[in-house]
Amino acid sequence: MIRSLLTPALKERLRQYYYLTRLHRPIGIFLLLWPTLWALWIASAGKPSWGVLAIFIAGVVLMRSAGCVINDYADRNIDPHVARTRERPMGTGKVAPREALILFVVLCLCAFGLVLLTNRLTVYLSVGALSLAVLYPFAKRYTHLPQVVLGMAFALAVPMAYAAQTGALNKLAWLIYVVTVVWAVIYDTMYAMADREDDLKIGVKSTAILFGEADRVILLVLQVLLFLGLFLVGRQAELGWPYDTAVGVAGLFALYQQFLIRRREPQGCLAAFINNHWLGLSVFVGIVISYSGLIGKT
């Protein structure tokens, strides 16, 4: 029955929506997921509610997809002029602006439905997260700091997860939030470095353009701040040496990213961006092991 409803035209439409939401490129899901899981595990001392965990995993997929849709809607007249994005569904006209807006609203409503299963504080925080997610793609027209806006939007998943798990927020939750913002600025600047030449031509702003020739040095400084923040998280949460070891492994990935961007070549910058998945995963593994009780913390 279902197969008979999937006409060739409908299959093609669904395929274009699949590309529009970037589900074929899950790196954005992982970059949003890892800090969310850091927060859930720390908030619950290693024993998160399975219901909350399921809500946030699904929510991450939905909101990252929604973010991609609204980003492409905002950039529909820009993407055809950028080598890396010219084949996106809206850039090629295969998805109409009205369709994209409807899809965005549907995805947001689904995500909001999940948030309603949590508590009032989490719902309030979700409104801020949605507002920043909508603001991000338009921010690049007016400021060289859209990566900061993205970081603030992505990182709100941290206090949301904390609030959903505990019903309250504390200093540690906000410390993880700040760490996540810094990390997002780092990896999204690497991403923006790949498009810098095209962005300069069409007038799109980014931290990659703002930093100019000092980009690698500034990214190194931000990476130092990131790992200082991760160190403080470990101390406040009393995670012990398994976490410290995992953060050390994550530091090796950060150094490798510096190697990848050394020539500022688009391919290397994109590889560095994607490599952040392993950095986030390493930190999460350290948190899980620290709370597992399988290895002593001292």
Instruction: Look up the CATH number of the domain holding residue 249.
Output: 1.10.357.140
Query: Cα–Cα distance between 154 and 60 in angstroms, integer?
Result: 9
Does any domain span residue 144? yes
Spell out the long-range contacts of 9-12 with Cβ–Cβ below 8 A and sequence spacing 24 or more. Answer: none
Band the pLDDT of 234: cuts 50, 70, 90.
very high
Band the pLDDT of 294: cuts 50, 70, 90.
low
Contact indicator for 254, 297 with CB cutoff of 8 Å: no
Does any domain span residue 252? yes
Q: Each residue of 106-155: pLDDT tens digit?
A: 999 999 999 999 999 999 999 999 999 888 888 888 999 999 999 999 99
Does any domain span residue 7? no
Q: Each residue of 166-202: pLDDT tens digit?
A: 999 999 999 999 999 999 999 999 999 999 998 888 8
Does any domain span residue 109? yes
Does any domain span residue 8? no
Does any domain span residue 244? yes
**Which residue's structure tokens are 């996106």?**
88
Token pair in block for residue 15: 């395929």
Q: Which amino acid is at 156?
A: L
Query: Cα–Cα distance between 82 and 201 in angstroms, integer?
Result: 9
CA neighbor of 273 nearest in space, from 187, 195, 148: 187
Q: For Cα atoms 189, 194, 195, give the angle at the middle one, nearest 5 degrees.
A: 95
Q: Is 6 left (phi over 0), alpha (psi -120 to 50) or beta?
A: beta
Q: What is the DSSP letter of 49?
A: -
Does any domain span residue 10? no
Q: Each residue of 91-106: pLDDT tens digit?
A: 888 999 999 999 999 9
Does any domain span residue 36? yes
Query: Cα–Cα distance between 161 and 118 in angstroms, integer?
Result: 10
Domain that holds residue 138: 15-292
Total domains, the chain: 1
Q: At 27, is the secondary structure helix, strand, or coil?
A: helix
